[in-house]
Structure 1
């Protein structure tokens, strides 16, 4: 059954390619008022499964699934009908048209196949194409490793430009930063302001040699309250949508670090720095024995 399905798919794909090709010839011939005698899907030696005539053209469905064809008056094509060329030239025939029109009719099939390839490629990219995380979506900036801190980055910085070029695809950022023959000037957004960080070439070379670029930056996961489930959270005044941004005066932006900080104050009361809409609040919260 699988083999039969693949064979059917092969013939259908072949028919689609040929059918689109022949449609190109058909439409271009009609555009120049050239008589189209036949347009068939599949070939029809001896008989047709289905056919009808409209506006001087016979449309039909053949029984031999090998693509299809279009028969243009005054043109020797797959039908190899040379007898028509012995007749006087008629004004609606292919051979009666100027060279540039004949040329366009002849290349229309290939052009349609090219357009089909572009449409298929767009469809593949849209459905299964490469996706990446955009730097513009890094609302909370990035956390940096020790090498990043030594270069001048701070946790929460968000990239803006590298040597004046905007940063978009984070997956290519390391190459953009490291593959260079000179130092780099990186502009980051820090606390609502843009800060320029100049990185010497020697530092970049050392990073490449020591592979310190591994884990240079990571996306922080902010501690945002989804729902208030515990009595301690309710008593503290936390609300869904609150973002916890610090503990006991320390600025901490990511979920993992806040969890570690909470574990250090088990059974105690801590002051939470909470951002609610545009307001920054300080809330006293009791931390249970599990942190």
Structure 2
């Protein structure tokens, strides 16, 4: 049953995309006075259709084959235009009678509608869910540099406040292509003092080898996550959310301090 629902959803989604695409062609053709002979959701293969109605010289309908849809524009030379129609004199309301710039707009109208739809969907999703990012000023404990970050001089607990003199507002910008392409300068706050750390031109190769987290990651406290009931952690008395202060007497307040232990 779930498979059938997924198939139905997929067909519905594709149908909406295709109908809007064909609607772009339809509206552009109408705007230039070109006759539209058919506008169909799904294909009416072999002449079979579920529904049709004629309005202002155009047949609107729903075919039986759910593989998209189509618009038939008078005078558009394609597989739907028979030999007899090609031999007829060109009429002013036909596609082929229009100037090249109008024909181009009609041809591109479908793609244009799809692009506008994509932008609209992206805008609506952003409006509803917002853009997810980590504000740099919320990194209370600074950063945790990996192997690559340590090699260029970053230290655990550093707070990066600027890139090339521009204040850093989003942590993600620290791992952006602008920084990873190299030849950037990071301004970090370390023990109450500003320090300059140069990002070399070859850092992208190192990041590709080790991974982005081995360049820099947010520094977080060591905390116990989920504890399985009856497991070793549960028997030891650990609880979800417990903060780790030390392991075998060695300080392990932050996750980067746990790595070498």
Q: Post-superposition shift, 1:184?
A: 4.5
Q: Is the alpha carbon distance of 1:93 and 1:187 closer, same or farther for their aligned partners in structure 2, counting shifts above 3 Å?
A: same
2:133 matched to 1:132? yes
Distance between the aligned counterparts of 2:14 and 2:154, measured in 1? 59
- Describe how 1:16-165 pairs up with structure 2 within 5 A: 16-44=16-44, 45-120=46-121, 131-137=132-138, 142=142, 159-165=160-166
Q: Post-superposition shift, 1:152?
A: 11
Q: Post-superposition shift, 1:38?
A: 1.5
Unmatched 5+ stretches in structure 1: 221-255, 257-291
Q: Post-superposition shift, 1:62?
A: 1.8
Q: Which residue of 1 aligns with 2:4?
A: 4
| TM-score, normalised via structure 2 length | 0.57
* 1:37/1:58 contact within 8 Å kept: yes
Report which of the two structures shows the higher radius of gyration computed on alpha carbons.
1
Give SS of 1:104's match: helix
Distance between the aligned counterparts of 2:124 and 2:79, measured in 1? 32
RMSD (Å), alpha carbons: 4.7
* 1:71/1:77 contact within 8 Å kept: no
Unmatched 5+ stretches in structure 2: 207-213, 222-242, 244-261
Q: Is the alpha carbon distance of 1:67 and 1:180 closer, same or farther for their aligned partners in structure 2, counting shifts above 3 Å?
A: closer
Q: Post-superposition shift, 1:39?
A: 0.8
Distance between the aligned counterparts of 2:216 and 2:90, measured in 1? 76
Q: Is the alpha carbon distance of 1:219 and 1:75 closer, same or farther for their aligned partners in structure 2, counting shifts above 3 Å?
A: same
Q: Is the alpha carbon distance of 1:134 and 1:66 closer, same or farther for their aligned partners in structure 2, counting shifts above 3 Å?
A: same
- Superposed CA offset, 1:262-282 (max 9, x none): xxxxxxxxxxxxxxxxxxxxx
Q: Is the alpha carbon distance of 1:136 and 1:42 closer, same or farther for their aligned partners in structure 2, counting shifts above 3 Å?
A: same
| TM-score, normalised via structure 1 length | 0.52
- Superposed CA offset, 1:49-105 (max 9, x none): 222333332222222212111111112345334433332222111111011211221
User: Relative contact order (C-alpha < 8 Å, sep 6+): which is higher?
Assistant: 2
Residue-pair matches, total: 209
Distance between the aligned counterparts of 2:89 and 2:154, measured in 1? 85
Q: Which residue of 1 aligns with 2:13?
A: 13
2:194 matched to 1:196? yes
Q: Is the alpha carbon distance of 1:142 and 1:49 closer, same or farther for their aligned partners in structure 2, counting shifts above 3 Å?
A: same
Q: Post-superposition shift, 1:26?
A: 0.7
Distance between the aligned counterparts of 2:154 and 2:111, measured in 1? 56
